[in-house]
Structure 1
């Protein structure tokens, strides 16, 4: 049985900070749309308060998270312990997208290492916090972060990244507006 919490307290924040991998799930409003679940890593996630979190969103092969949040704001984040102590935590809420030059973008980006693939900040007003046992999750060991995203972005350079986003991130797989 899942436990429901009123907010993200210091203990939960510390546990979230320890997790090297987490997932974000979104979906469009249309019944024929695709549910999207994306893995996230690197030093990109911040707990901003007891009911607010955000992460630095990197340029990727798709733009579903941004498109879905812009359409309906619904989002669920899932953190899972792969260490000895099993645990799963889900943060449900309403997301918003913040672009370079906006105060929230600047605030969150400043909390993390600079990354040449940064395209936006996603902030979430958390409406529900729950945890579950995680007994079925395997125990695994974190060995390293992949640096491929950084290397590819550095290869492309700022102009190449802008061109890539214009070509590959303009619309979601469901045809929703993505990254400007």
Structure 2
């Protein structure tokens, strides 16, 4: 049975901390729905109703475009080891541009000032509903390790190559919505 909560309590924060993957879902009224996997090492619960994750350069930038146009974002965790549970965080989000003072403040205060190669923006979610469900249908998996492919790819491109790639692939969504990745202010 689904159970709603007003915020992320200590038990749910602990559950989040034990997961290895989460998924983001976003859309606008007229766009395709985007679902993306993320590694939980980039996510921080900074308040009972606020989470952020450090977003790295990828083949698209759908979430940023959807947040700019609509603002709705759902983050989902599902236990693939241990007791079954699904946790969803619903709310409104925004993308915080890399290089902005707010980005730098978040990087310093929540990531120890450490920025992985290919970091492109911080996604901020103001959570207005937390919901758990059984997760009985989620299969069990054994976690081996994190992949190094993204680090290797971004390192091989270097800062200038990543900048070029972002300008080619990350300025608009697949539906033509602007992401704002290079907007000032």
Same fold per TM (> 0.5)?
Answer: yes
CA contact (8 A) 1:67 1:176 kept: yes
Deviations 1:71-126 (A, max 9, x none): 01000000000012000000000001111233432233333353111000000000
Residue 42 of structure 1 contacts residue 145 of structure 1 at CA under 8 Å; is this kept in 2? no
4+ residue segments displaced more than 4 Å: none
Matched, 1:157 2:158: yes
Report the Cα distance in structure 1 between the residues aligned to 2:52 and 2:25, rounded to whole angstroms.
14
What's the RMSD between the two structures over aligned residues? Answer: 1.2
Length-normalised TM-score, structure 2? 0.92
Q: Using structure 1 for the length normalisation, give the TM-score.
A: 0.95
Question: Which residue of 2 is the match for residue 16 of structure 1?
Answer: 16
Alpha carbons 2:43, 2:52 under 8 Å: kept: yes
What SS is found at the alignment partner of 1:61?
Answer: coil
Counterpart in the other structure of 1:114: 115
Contact 2:19 2:40 in 1 (8 A): no
Q: Which of 45, 48, 53 is the matching residue for 1:47? A: 45
The worse-fitting range, judged by mean Cα deviation, of 4-13 and 73-82 is 4-13
Where does structure 2 lack aligned partners over 5 or more consecutive residues?
none
Q: Which stretches in structure 1 are left out of the alignment for 5+ residues?
A: none
Residues 1:91 and 2:89 are matched in the alignment:
yes
